[in-house]
Amino acid sequence: MADTPAPAPGTQTLARGLALIRAVADGAHDLRTLVERTGIGRSTVHRLAQLLIAEGYLRGGKDGYALGPTLIELGFQALHGNPLPVVARPVLEELSAQLQDTVHLAVRDGESVLYLDKLPGTRGAEMRSRIGHRMPLTRTGVGMALLLDSAPEWQALYEAEAPVEPGEVHPEDVDAFLARMREYAEAGVAMDLEDNEPGIRCVAAPVRDAAGEVVGAISVSATRPYMPAPRMRGLTAVMARAAQRISAGLGHREP
């Protein structure tokens, strides 16, 4: 809570209610945990939770608090208000049928990857990604694809997302990551070489809008036996073409 900006005057109650929703989304399912996670007083948490339940933003029961149906409704409205998932879906379905592996669509949300769509593969292990889930930008194929035009951010994001304490990131690891990103930016595709999940590899490509800005990324992922290096190299052209088709649907034209 210390890093959260102070709410504008008159918006404290709204900010607290939103904090409760976020805490429940992050796994706080009982009153005690909500108080600990948000730093809001117990009586205020209880009062706000009851209001949020009445409005459908939360559900309450013997198993504790959970996200409510109003959020599902609003989530679908937000999803369909964004043309990217609608334009991308037919292409993702074709990729899924052709490749038989897990296909993702994601966007950048702040300093995270946000998954908008996922079509599970028909072989190999299930992956922990899911629609609405966030993951690190520099540890995922779609995240690196989203960053291909953002070279000034590469090092800072990599160091911030490294699974070690600040200041303990080895310079050689940073140099290796930057070299990979330069290679990916030149090729127009990115690869997850088991950076995010052991045994899971993927090939990803950026999606651009009419202005040429990267607004999303798609990827195909599979376990190592189904994603050897030669196949990954072969999939770069497949994913690039698929991303270009989606981009064209958003008004992008290749130079």
Q: What are the structural domains, with CATH classification, of the chain?
A: 12-73 (1.10.10.10), 82-249 (3.30.450.40)
Query: In this structure, what token pair is assigned to residue 126?
Result: 């299930």
The predicted structure's pLDDT at residue 226? 93
The predicted structure's pLDDT at residue 88? 94
Tens-place pLDDT, residues 59-78:
888 788 988 888 877 776 66
Residues 106, 113 contacting (CB under 8 angstroms) = yes
Sign of CA dihedral 242, 207, 195, 174: positive
Ranges of residues in the chain whose predicted pLDDT is under 70: 1-10, 76-82, 124-125, 163-168
Residues 177, 159 contacting (CB under 8 angstroms) = no
70 phi/psi in degrees, rounded to 5: -60, -35
d(CA 34, CA 45): 7
The predicted structure's pLDDT at residue 81? 63
Query: In this structure, what token pair is assigned to residue 40?
Result: 């809001």
Nearest CA-CA partner of 200 in 177, 172, 232: 232
Q: What angle do CA 144, 147, 151 make, to 5 degrees?
A: 120
213 phi/psi in degrees, rounded to 5: -80, 145
Would you say how long the chain is, in residues?
Answer: 255
The predicted structure's pLDDT at residue 232? 95
- Name 179's Cβ contacts closer than 8 Å, sequence gap at least 6: none
Matching residue, tokens 């049928």: 97
The predicted structure's pLDDT at residue 170? 82
Nearest CA-CA partner of 58 in 20, 26, 27: 20
Q: What is the pTM of this model?
A: 0.71
- Name 3's Cβ contacts closer than 8 Å, sequence gap at least 6: none
